[in-house]
Amino acid sequence: MRLLVTGGLGFIGSNLVRWILQQHPDVELVNVDAETYAGNPANLADLLPHPRYRGVRADVADRATMRALFHDWHPEAVVHLAAESHVDRSLQDATPFLRTNVEGTQVLLDAARETGVGRFVYVSTDEVYGSLGPTGVFTETSPLAPRSPYAVSKAAGDLLAQAAYHTWRQPVIITRCSNNYGPYQYPEKFIPLVILNALEGQPIPLYGDGQQVRDWIHVEDHVRGLWPALTRGTPGRVYNLSARNEQPNRAVAETILALLGADPALLRTVRDRPGHDRRYALDPSRAEQELGFAPRIPWREGLRQTIAWYHQHTAWWRAIREREDYQNYYQQQYG
């Protein structure tokens, strides 16, 4: 299979590329990635060069370049992950979110339609459903009610993908996954931030009362769900992916500190994120029943492995944390 992946130098994308190249020897893979601050060639460096992999540095919203690539290479399938992905950055400046997540998705849908791509997975998020109160879970029929510029831009991508199915019967499949954690996650996100600040003895910023709830899944379990969505998912259909693992932020941070044997006093309450979604929880029953989706990695074991990975990859994260753009972002976000 000729498979085009977008965003394959990011956190989830690089885990997906690694897994596919290892598990599926029939796949030839092209990875389109703009190498933004979050796209890191080091995430795949140990695999490369690889006879079935080609990296293309390009912007998914660049229509001419995407058309040329699709017409030249004729991918049979696409997994579209490229995105601006951090809520806090979308509050600072939504502009790149609209370009990449909205325009970029339409450009790829158009190029895929023109060249007859047979399967197109749009990798979305539970954040498109908005925020829950203390009870209930989101299903695929829950209304879209996104509440941050990031979530709105992803929901726009969902709707464009659905429009492409409705209008042209384009074989688009949408996955909506909950919060991921694991190796190669950019350290602006909560779990790697807690681990690395703890390892370096720096204060750990907890927004507001820390009782916001996220539904955590190990990135390998997400990746293992994307494959059957690509190969067996029903076109036009949405699949929620989650490990049914709700955790309040404060408990996540405390568990990590305990696993590290670090000082709990490192936790510092800081000003809450404006408009902070209170709770996400996702029902993955449809993916379980129709795709055989079955997350394998238990939460504490996954956290242990993740902490060990960051312990063993200090050069990887030090290079990021020492960069000027990371330090400027940190300063602007946390003061």
Judged by beta carbon, residue 9 or residue 78, the one nearer ligand NAD is: 9
Tokens of 301: 């074991």
Q: Which residues of 282-310 are buried (b: 16+ CB within 10 A; e: fewer)?
A: bbbebbbeebebebebebeebbeebbebb
Report in angstroms the alpha-carbon separations of 33 from 48, 162, 226, 254, 275: 16, 24, 19, 35, 30
Active site residue 322: no
The catalytic residue among 127, 221, 277, 288 is 127
Count H helices and E strands in the chain, helices first: 13, 12
Least distance from C-beta 240 to ligand NAD, angstroms?
A: 11
Contact 184, 18 (CB under 8 A): no
- Residue 50 backbone dihedrals phi, psi, to 5 degrees: -135, 135
The catalytic residue among 150, 181, 186, 239 is 150
The catalytic residue among 33, 59, 126, 288 is 126
Least distance from C-beta 265 to ligand NAD, angstroms?
A: 28
Judged by beta carbon, residue 124 or residue 197, the one nearer ligand NAD is: 124
Residue 241's SS3 state is strand
- Taking CB under 6 A as the rule, does residue 27 contact ligand TYD? no
Active site residue 326: no
Contact 30, 56 (CB under 8 A): yes
- Taking CB under 6 A as the rule, does residue 164 contact ligand TYD? no
Give me the residue whose beta carbon is nearest to ligand NAD. Answer: 10
Contact residues for ligand NAD (CB under 6 A)? 6-7, 9-13, 32-36, 38-39, 59-61, 81-85, 100, 104, 123, 125, 154, 177, 179-180, 186
Active site residue 127: yes
Active site residues: 126-127, 150
Task: Write out the residues near ligand TYD by the rule CB under 6 A.
Answer: 87, 179, 189-190, 193, 205-207, 212, 214, 249, 273
